[in-house]
Structure 1
Amino acid sequence: MLTAGELDAFFEEDLGDDDDSNGIVPAVEALGQIICKEEGVLAGLEEACAVFRHLGLSVGSDLVDGQPVRKGDIILEARGSARDLMRGERLALNFLGRMSGIATLTAKCVGLAPGVRVAATRKTTPGFRKFEKKAVKLGGGDTHRYDLSSAVMIKDNQIRIMGLENAIREAKKVASFTKKIEVEVESLEDAEKAARAGADIIMFDNMKPAMIKKGVKIVKSVDERILLEASGGITLSNISEYAKTGVDVISLGALTRDARWLDFSMDIQL
């Protein structure tokens, strides 16, 4: 949910202290229509509507977040002061463009990896993470961790400092029984060690599909209940190969890092 405080901060950033660009626009009654300029998956509609309502405008839409949209579709209509329509335009378009771009890329990846969860990472824009993660979910993906407190993630640096088995042992001492422990491994030997040490999830990091297939067999021979994840260097061009390795989850920083904004524009009629 986009809070009033967040909206105030976003408007402060975008409008500044002396917005003469829109200050010169008369406060006459007008209708603003946001139009989709290309095909994709809609996300950010809820936020765009909140932007205009925060300015006291009436807003309506026949669409919902998560549905496919085409070029020429009217995403929403806002009615009220022309000045306030102009003030909310860029912020609303930014939400729609960024979030729809992520949802669209996520949906493409999900379609190429049937039977496997496609997840995001923490490679997100500071201050905008919850909206980017929401867009992943709207595109049919999995949000993964929202923050470091969502799960225990033991990665290469923890392993270098503490050792793999010791890191897992210490995590089991301090983490709640409700919190899963995930271990990132870069070799088949470490995958087996993590499985025998009691990891709940094992992530194969920057491994080729052929090696991951071997890792899946090794880990499942130790404990079939362990969830398996592939990550690192995975893109639209190779995700299908990773989906055939037997992992349960594929996580991609590309969902938020490489997503191209979807194009929207606003037309105003008096």
Structure 2
Amino acid sequence: MLAVTHCVLDDAALQHLLIEDVPYGDLTTEALAISERAARIQFTARDAMTVCGTEEARRLCELCGATATLHTPSGQVAPPGTLLLTADGTVAAVHHVWKTAQTLLEWCAGVATRAAAIQTAAICGHPDAIVAVTRKNVPGVRQLAVKACRAGGAVMHRCGLSETVLIFAEHRQFLGDESPNTTLARLRRQCPEKRIVVEVNTPAEALQWANADVLQLEKFTPAAVAEVVDLTAQLNTSPLIAAAGGIHADNAADYARAGARLLVTSAPHIAPPRDVQVRFHCA
């Protein structure tokens, strides 16, 4: 897996997460009069997982005044029982960071683990198959979502509208009578450094737009993908074939065997979190 071992959120964003959880202090810890006692917090993988977010969790601990040690960086595959992170500080500090760091680790690991599972399945279908994750993440978490998908060995399909040229049917309905080849030539003049991707919904549309650099086949069956691969192979220029819509670990190999070399999916974004166990110790 690709280890993404830098912190993608700056201190301001991390502080915002902490303030969200502890806006006015920790009432229970303060009322018990234990805030200044020494403590250690330990984060351990309870589930098997592809780890992600330990760098952010470490920095969260530091922002709360604790001294943190990262034991397993993002991108590593961790069996149950793997020590991820420890931090030493006051009881107030470790209780402050507890749930924010734990939840971040669990959510990030869920996304990374599912991305890794789909990528592993795709490679079983063809060694050159690549999983590309869409931008269909929960709003507000894109930086962490991108990190988690990359930690799982996937690439990003696109991180936003500003970076790629992807023509949907929702664009084409406004083009009037302009031919596909005319549209493609115009885009290549306008964006000469970009590959032109066109999403199509039928084999007939795929042939109409076959001069694109990438044909994205939306909700095609593996058999229909294979049909398009065969049809475009007979042309002078063969586009890269991407399969999109409903791609997951159970069918990724089938799509790769059918000839799709890029598997476009949103599935990692709705992965269940992986379980991270937290233990406290008196220091």
Q: TM over 0.5: same fold?
A: yes
Q: One-letter code of the match for 1:6?
A: A
CA RMSD of aligned residues (A): 1.8
Choose the corresponding residue for 2:188, options 149, 164, 172: 172
Which residue in the other structure is 1:48 paired with?
57
Q: Where do residues 233-252 of structure 1 align in structure 2 (5 Å cutoff)?
A: 233-252=246-265
Choose the corresponding residue for 1:7, options 11, 14, 32: 14
8 Å contact 2:121–2:250 — kept in the other structure?
no
8 Å contact 2:188–2:194 — kept in the other structure?
no
Pair 1:96 & 2:105 matched: yes
The CA deviation at 1:169 is 4.8
Whole-angstrom distance in 1 between the partners of 2:237 and 2:29: 61
Pair 1:59 & 2:68 matched: yes
8 Å contact 1:158–1:167 — kept in the other structure?
no
The CA deviation at 1:66 is 1.2
Choose the corresponding residue for 2:223, options 188, 203, 210: 210
Output one character per residue of 1:27-52: Cα deviation in whole Å (capped at 9) or x when no partner: 21111111211111111111111111
Pair 1:144 & 2:157 matched: yes
1:30 match: secondary structure? strand
| Percent identity of paired positions between Structure 1 and Structure 2 | 26
Q: One-letter code of the match for 2:223?
A: A
2:210 match: secondary structure? helix
8 Å contact 1:22–1:87 — kept in the other structure?
no
The CA deviation at 1:221 is 2.7
Which residue in the other structure is 1:262 paired with?
274
8 Å contact 2:243–2:264 — kept in the other structure?
yes
Which residue in the other structure is 1:20 paired with?
27
Whole-angstrom distance in 1 between the partners of 2:146 and 2:13: 17
Which residue in the other structure is 1:253 paired with?
266
Which residue in the other structure is 1:135 paired with?
148
8 Å contact 1:97–1:262 — kept in the other structure?
yes
Q: One-letter code of the match for 1:185?
A: V
Q: One-letter code of the match for 1:233?
A: G
Runs of 5+ consecutive residues of structure 1 not aligned to the other structure: none
Q: One-letter code of the match for 2:206?
A: A
Q: Where do residues 185-196 of structure 1 align in structure 2 (5 Å cutoff)?
A: 185-196=200-211
Q: One-letter code of the match for 1:150?
A: E
1:113 match: secondary structure? helix
Runs of 5+ consecutive residues of structure 2 not aligned to the other structure: 1-7
Whole-angstrom distance in 1 between the partners of 2:37 and 2:109: 31
1:195 match: secondary structure? coil
Q: One-letter code of the match for 2:15?
A: D
